[in-house]
């Protein structure tokens, strides 16, 4: 049985506190009105004052070296993502090397990617549509964004068949 959302959020927040490379800020948004995760992402992105931003949903957990490994791979990138360990489902789409043609057909870059804040703002953030994370990455690719994959499992992706996954296609 999966923990309730408040417990998941506490675990996600704790995983940020345990990072070997601490973020400059840790902004938290809750979709109390259940409008959609895209809206919370956009509200938080508009408040970011750093070069890079990273989205973490309440049901995900970062392993301690997640941010450090992504930042180490960020030199020539606009988007840096890593593979995940999944729980509750054997979800493997996010555990693939970057392939621009495959990205155009399915979601291979997770919502847990680190992205240049300027890119998010230039693209107008996430849009209100099914698969908003995946569609954002395709728009970033179309805009010339450079993607780098860290082929290591650096975070835990919890899946539950009763939850809506509105961000995936």
Q: What pLDDT is recorded for position 160?
A: 72
Position with higher pLDDT, 4 vs 149: 149
Please state the pTM of the whole predicted model.
0.91
Mean pLDDT of 143-164: 88
Position with higher pLDDT, 66 vs 2: 66
Q: Give residue-wise pLDDT tens across range 79-112.
A: 999 999 988 777 788 999 999 999 999 999 999 9
User: Cβ(135)–Cβ(127) under 8 Å?
Assistant: yes
- Percent of the chain clearing pLDDT 70 (strictly above): 93
Q: What pLDDT is recorded for position 37?
A: 86
In the block, tokens 């990617």 appear at 113
Q: What pLDDT is recorded for position 36?
A: 82
Q: What pLDDT is recorded for position 55?
A: 93
What is 5-158's CATH superfamily? Answer: Spore Coat Polysaccharide Biosynthesis Protein SpsA; Chain A (3.90.550.10)
Question: In which band, very low, low, confident or very high, does the pLDDT at 168 lie, cut at 50, 70 and 90?
Answer: low
For residue 86, give Cα distances in angstroms to 25, 93, 130, 148, 153. Answer: 26, 10, 22, 21, 9
Separation between Cα atoms, residue 18 and residue 151, nearest integer Å = 21
Q: What pLDDT is recorded for position 66?
A: 98
Position with higher pLDDT, 78 vs 28: 78
User: Cβ(168)–Cβ(89) under 8 Å?
Assistant: no
Q: Give residue-wise pLDDT tens across range 27-57.
A: 988 888 878 888 999 999 999 999 999 999 9
Q: Residue 116 pLDDT > 70, yes or no?
A: yes
Which residues make Cβ contacts (< 8 Å) with residue 139, sequence separation at least 6? Answer: 123
Question: In which band, very low, low, confident or very high, does the pLDDT at 159 lie, cut at 50, 70 and 90?
Answer: confident
């Amino acid at each position: 049985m999966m923990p309730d959302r408040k417990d998941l959020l506490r675990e996600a927040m704790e995983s940020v506190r345990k990072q070997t490379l601490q973020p400059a800020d840790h902004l938290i948004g809750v979709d109390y009105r259940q409008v959609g995760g895209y809206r919370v992402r956009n509200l938080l992105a508009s408040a970011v004052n750093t070069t890079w931003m990273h989205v973490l949903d309440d049901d995900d957990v970062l392993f301690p070296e997640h941010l450090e490994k992504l930042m180490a791979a960020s030199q020539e990138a606009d988007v840096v993502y890593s593979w995940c360990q999944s729980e509750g489902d054997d979800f493997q789409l996010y555990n693939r090397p970057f392939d621009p043609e495959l990205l155009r057909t399915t979601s291979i870059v997770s919502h847990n990617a680190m992205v240049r804040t300027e890119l998010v703002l230039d693209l107008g953030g996430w849009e209100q549509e099914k698969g908003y994370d995946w569609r954002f990455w395709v728009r970033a690719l179309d805009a010339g964004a450079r993607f780098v994959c860290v082929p290591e499992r650096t975070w835990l992706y919890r899946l539950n068949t009763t939850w809506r996954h509105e961000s995936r296609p």
